[in-house]
Structure 1
Amino acid sequence: MTRIPKPRLRQLRIVSIAAAGLLTASLLVAPPSSAQVVPAAQAAPAAATNTIPGVDEIVSSPNLRLLTNLPKVAPLDGTNSDLAFQGKYAFAGNYNGFVTYDISRPSSPRVVSRVLCPGSQNDISVYGDLLFLSTDSSRSDDSCNSAAQGADVKSSWEGIKIFDIKNKANPRYIKSVETACGSHTHTLVPGKDKKSVYLYVSSYSPRATFPDCQPPHDSISIIKVPVKKPTQAAVVATPNLFPDGGFEGSETGSATTGCHDITAYPSRDLAAGACMGDGILMDIRDREAPRVINRVRDTTNFAFWHSATFNNSGTKVVFTDELGGGGAATCNEEVGPNRGADAIFDITGRGDHRKMNFRSYFKIPRVNADTENCVAHNGSLIPVPGKDIMVQAWYQGGISVWDFTNSAQPKEIAFWERGPISNEEMIGGGSWSAYYYNGHIYSNDLFKGFDVLKLSDWRTWPAELVRYKELNVQSQPSYLGGW
């Protein structure tokens, strides 16, 4: 789903919640009293069906259930977006800012602070005491009090905002960095010296009338952030990833005019870019000079290369196709199983000779209503050693847990979804991001708010032993890093 010189940073508005008692009953849905462990014989999802649940009706396989939901609250009542995690905290992006949750008790999450700072999408990541937000909507300036302003105005601003989150109840806005064409998403890549962290900024759709977003735009922006001196953050490189201009586009597929999202696997010096009309594999040993070593296209079924996920061994990559831009009904019989889906690629070869080889598609097997936006979206691996299992958001298609250990025959093993928001008209909603973190699945629903779910399945029990100190899903960790 998707523009500003830099005046002084203005005061941002923060609403801090000091205690759980300030959460009223209207904000918290009580969870069931205890988790249910489902034996293997019962842990199968429903088969493909044409039965569509009623408005707001919840349906699921027996091994995945909702523990609690926290609805959106003004002023953070815009569209919810991505999630990041650190210790006992979850950080949830929203087009109007971000929310910090204390998830030390996952069944009873508590709001610690709400930061009002409009600027879609507010894609989010965290690193130590720093939090980063992407702004990909043209603003009058770089403050948290800015107004929408056309990208055709030279003074308009878009880019990255940096916050100090040492005090989780009182985040401080400390720095902004403007980037060409804004920042639709960004990917955090730790520097090898641990003294700096890099942000790979993805943006796209240049126009001749946009002074700060001129075509061609075949590059990403790389921001270097000195960890101890974050106010010195600056763009240090703008590598051209598509010297030939990338995919020229077709009736069904987007032309490449930048990247939508990049997933890095820092411990393996790899990154995968989902770049509108192209999927790319990159060597990132030199953090400031990533190199494209392989590129793939799908001119038959893919409309918009949206995001990527590696398996733990770095021998596979899953790309998602955001057919319809996240606002269309594509989980139906008319669209079929191969469009608006995931595409699984095996990575073969070594070094610069590595190649991505297509193996299969995966799409949820349930039919959705024509009033439900549904398409493949953000997900993460569930850390089961020796297996390739991930949880994934499908907007109003809900949340799916699926196994791609056999990359030619992926299969769903759990699902959870709400029925349509409306039977009469298309109202955008559903899970934007669904991620597994330290024993639970957390989902940021565009419309309904913050959901916490519990997966109880023998096939994923080993994941319960994995604990991460920090998780930015697009900066992919190894399972071994979490033991």
Structure 2
Amino acid sequence: MRTKTRWSIAAIAVALLVGATVPATADPELDNLDDFDVKSRPAPAEISVPPGKADHRTFPSTRNMHALGHSSHPASFEVPPAEREISSDIAFWGDLAIQGNYNGFRVIDISSPAKPKLLSHPECNGDQGDVVVWENIVVRSWNSPAPEGRLCMGEPVPVGFEGLHVFDIADPENPELLTAVEFSQVGAAERGTADGCGSHTVTLVADPDNNRLVVYSNNSSGDNRPVCDAMDIIEVPIDDPAAAGHIGYVPLVGGSLGSNNGCHDAGAILGEVNMLTCASGHAANVFSIGEPGGGTLENPLWLFNIEEEDPESGVKVGAPGAGRWHSATFSFDGEAILLGWEPGGGGQARCTADDPDINKSLFAYSAADGAKLGQWVLERPQGHDENCTIHNYNMVPLRSGNDVVASGHYQAGSRVVDFTGIQEGVQPESIAWADPPSLGPGPFCTVMWDGEPTPTDGCRLGGAWSTYWYNGFLYESDITRGLNIYRVSDRATAGAIKLSHLNPQTQEFTIH
């Protein structure tokens, strides 16, 4: 086991920032590892299953990856857009998991991870459905202009609407729609353009001293919508969330390829660091949102950009038609930034043995100046009939200060990867994984990375949209299946801080 002995845990800064105490106690299930069959870096336990028929208990996996509960939510991309139920991102409050989908979100009781219980599914049929939660407030993304006839909890959604909806889940079995914040008009007025931008993902920073939540809405614009090269900022009053409104936007800084094609996702770290990284196009923008670097929550201060290119294959992150940066997180001391990207837009097979390493890597950079520290390459090649990228992930909050990441990779499933020592040149290594079988042929995965046709009959889209560590368990949002829950029994993940809540894109404290 690798350790970072130079770190010790400081006081949990979230207690000062958000007025809530996060108990600095390890998950009790992980305190006594002798109770488990702990095998560091185990050999895979392969299981043969029919394509597309397995539940997560039958996925090929390492022996330290233990499948627990499942909350079913069947879905497919191969239906009309208005009928899609695709599971997307997750947020957590106490014993509740809020799992977004293309038709609203599901509120799931996870007090027993072996037996999750669906409490409600408020319907809101606009695509993406990224979610954040604070106490009884849920904010949900609406990505694309609304066609005629769309509804949100029974309320008509105006044609062309793009933006956010705000909900009250004080009664988790009966959520209420409070308001909508439309960017297609307000954002456009701010920019002086004909239209605004949708909300692809959201990142939440609580500011209770000012009775508000600050929500960064990240869009996924194409070259035909350069106006969307920005993050929209929304303010949600904590004691009156129905009064939520658009308060501004942060222009992105282009890189070597010019305009930066939208902020797809943003990861923030608070505590003693106060930084935000926008996974944008080909040039990830790194901002300071407070002391010591300057800037504020409403006016982030741009620091530098991060770009990446593979000198052997010539593949560049964010090049036209190649994909874009996707998701960002920090080491808990704020010294390193981790970035993934989405070659092929998530609809292609980009983790095959034929793909260059850059297509199937999670990268680490210095948070001081953007210098590259290293990268982890997905070690288990996927088939040409499996859509795959490094998608959504978070850092495990370990009292040791070690850097361990939980990550979802579409049809490559879920991984736990140890990045400890990356600043000193130590190579990252996989700790555990669960990798589902192919969903079989379909209309996607048609082109290889070099432009040649895929040597299969395509693929169906599916797999792990997001995988996050939360209080001793991995929660995997499976696009076509629903919510899968795992426990990892490995010393590398022992000693995690128990959290009262988690919005995975926001690290509310630092660890030194």
TM band (smaller chain) = 0.7 to 0.9
Q: Residue 418 of structure 1: SS of its match in structure 2?
A: coil
- Distance in 1 (alpha carbons) for counterparts of 2:107 and 2:205: 22
The offset of 1:459, in angstroms, is 1.9
The offset of 1:449, in angstroms, is 1.4
- Identify the residue that residue 462 of structure 2 maps to in structure 1: 429
- Distance in 2 (alpha carbons) for counterparts of 1:205 and 1:319: 19
Cα displacement string for residues 295-336 of structure 1 (whole angstroms, at most 9, x for unaligned residues): 111143424111101011000010001111111111111113
Asked if the contact 1:374–1:395 (Cα under 8 Å) also holds between the matched residues in 2, the reply is yes
The offset of 1:37, in angstroms, is 1.5
Cα displacement string for residues 232-257 of structure 1 (whole angstroms, at most 9, x for unaligned residues): 21111112232xx44526xxxxx612
- Identify the residue that residue 359 of structure 2 maps to in structure 1: 339
- Identify the residue that residue 205 of structure 2 maps to in structure 1: 189
Cα displacement string for residues 266-309 of structure 1 (whole angstroms, at most 9, x for unaligned residues): 22211111001111211112111001111111143424111101
Cα displacement string for residues 147-190 of structure 1 (whole angstroms, at most 9, x for unaligned residues): 899xxxxx511101000111111110011111221101111011
How does the TM-score come out when normalised to structure 1?
0.81
Is 1:472 the equivalent of 2:507? no
Question: Bigger CA drift: 438-447 or 187-196?
Answer: 187-196
1:51-200 alignment runs, 5 A limit: 55=51, 56=54, 58-72=59-73, 78-140=85-147, 143-144=151-152, 145=154, 156-179=160-183, 180-191=196-207, 193-200=209-216
Asked if the contact 2:71–2:118 (Cα under 8 Å) also holds between the matched residues in 1, the reply is no
- Distance in 2 (alpha carbons) for counterparts of 1:38 and 1:345: 35
Pick one of 251, 257, 264 that aligns with 1:260: 264
2:349 aligned partner, one-letter code:
A
Is 1:397 the equivalent of 2:412? yes
- Distance in 2 (alpha carbons) for counterparts of 1:455 and 1:194: 39
Asked if the contact 1:43–1:62 (Cα under 8 Å) also holds between the matched residues in 2, the reply is no
Question: Bigger CA drift: 399-408 or 72-81?
Answer: 72-81
- Identify the residue that residue 224 of structure 1 maps to in structure 2: 235
Cα displacement string for residues 78-127 of structure 1 (whole angstroms, at most 9, x for unaligned residues): 11100000011101001011101101111001011111111110000001
- Distance in 1 (alpha carbons) for counterparts of 2:459 and 2:466: 20
Pick one of 279, 282, 295 that aligns with 1:274: 279
Asked if the contact 1:76–1:97 (Cα under 8 Å) also holds between the matched residues in 2, the reply is no
- Identify the residue that residue 23 of structure 1 maps to in structure 2: none
Q: Residue 173 of structure 1: SS of its match in structure 2?
A: strand
CA separation of 1:77 and 1:455: change in aligned 2, threshold 3 A: farther
CA separation of 1:456 and 1:280: change in aligned 2, threshold 3 A: same
Pick one of 281, 285, 289 that aligns with 1:284: 289
Asked if the contact 1:53–1:420 (Cα under 8 Å) also holds between the matched residues in 2, the reply is no
Q: Residue 462 of structure 1: SS of its match in structure 2?
A: coil
Cα displacement string for residues 180-209 of structure 1 (whole angstroms, at most 9, x for unaligned residues): 21101111011262511111111132576x
Asked if the contact 1:140–1:147 (Cα under 8 Å) also holds between the matched residues in 2, the reply is no
- Identify the residue that residue 12 of structure 1 maps to in structure 2: none
1:417 aligned partner, one-letter code:
D
The offset of 1:478, in angstroms, is 2.7
1:396 aligned partner, one-letter code:
Q
Q: Residue 231 of structure 1: SS of its match in structure 2?
A: helix
- Identify the residue that residue 388 of structure 1 maps to in structure 2: 403
Question: Bigger CA drift: 309-318 or 354-363?
Answer: 354-363
- Distance in 2 (alpha carbons) for counterparts of 1:246 and 1:107: 46
CA separation of 1:36 and 1:420: change in aligned 2, threshold 3 A: farther
1:301-320 alignment runs, 5 A limit: 301-303=316-318, 304-320=324-340
Q: Residue 302 of structure 2: SS of its match in structure 1?
A: strand
Question: Bigger CA drift: 403-412 or 124-133?
Answer: 403-412
Asked if the contact 1:185–1:203 (Cα under 8 Å) also holds between the matched residues in 2, the reply is yes
1:436-451 alignment runs, 5 A limit: 436-451=469-484
- Distance in 2 (alpha carbons) for counterparts of 1:345 and 1:53: 39
1:462 aligned partner, one-letter code:
G
- Distance in 2 (alpha carbons) for counterparts of 1:103 and 1:479: 26
- Distance in 2 (alpha carbons) for counterparts of 1:382 and 1:399: 14
The aligned length equals 419
Which structure carries more relative contact order (alpha carbon 8 Å, separation 6+)? 2
Q: Extract unaligned runs of 5+ from structure 2.
A: 1-33, 76-81, 184-195, 291-295, 311-315, 319-323, 442-456
The offset of 1:71, in angstroms, is 1.9
1:62 aligned partner, one-letter code:
R
Q: Superposition RMSD on alpha carbons, in Å?
A: 2.6
- Distance in 1 (alpha carbons) for counterparts of 2:41 and 2:136: 41
- Identify the residue that residue 303 of structure 2 maps to in structure 1: 293
How does the TM-score come out when normalised to structure 2?
0.77
1:132 aligned partner, one-letter code:
V
- Distance in 2 (alpha carbons) for counterparts of 1:281 and 1:105: 38
Asked if the contact 2:151–2:157 (Cα under 8 Å) also holds between the matched residues in 1, the reply is no
1:374 aligned partner, one-letter code:
C
- Distance in 2 (alpha carbons) for counterparts of 1:437 and 1:339: 27
Asked if the contact 2:467–2:474 (Cα under 8 Å) also holds between the matched residues in 1, the reply is yes
Is 1:364 the equivalent of 2:378? yes
- Identify the residue that residue 218 of structure 2 maps to in structure 1: 202
The offset of 1:383, in angstroms, is 1.9
Quick one: percent identity of the two aligned structures? 30
Q: Residue 356 of structure 1: SS of its match in structure 2?
A: coil
- Distance in 2 (alpha carbons) for counterparts of 1:419 and 1:478: 37
Q: Residue 328 of structure 1: SS of its match in structure 2?
A: coil
- Identify the residue that residue 7 of structure 1 maps to in structure 2: none
Asked if the contact 2:43–2:63 (Cα under 8 Å) also holds between the matched residues in 1, the reply is no
- Identify the residue that residue 343 of structure 2 maps to in structure 1: 323
- Identify the residue that residue 252 of structure 2 maps to in structure 1: 241
CA separation of 1:345 and 1:92: change in aligned 2, threshold 3 A: same
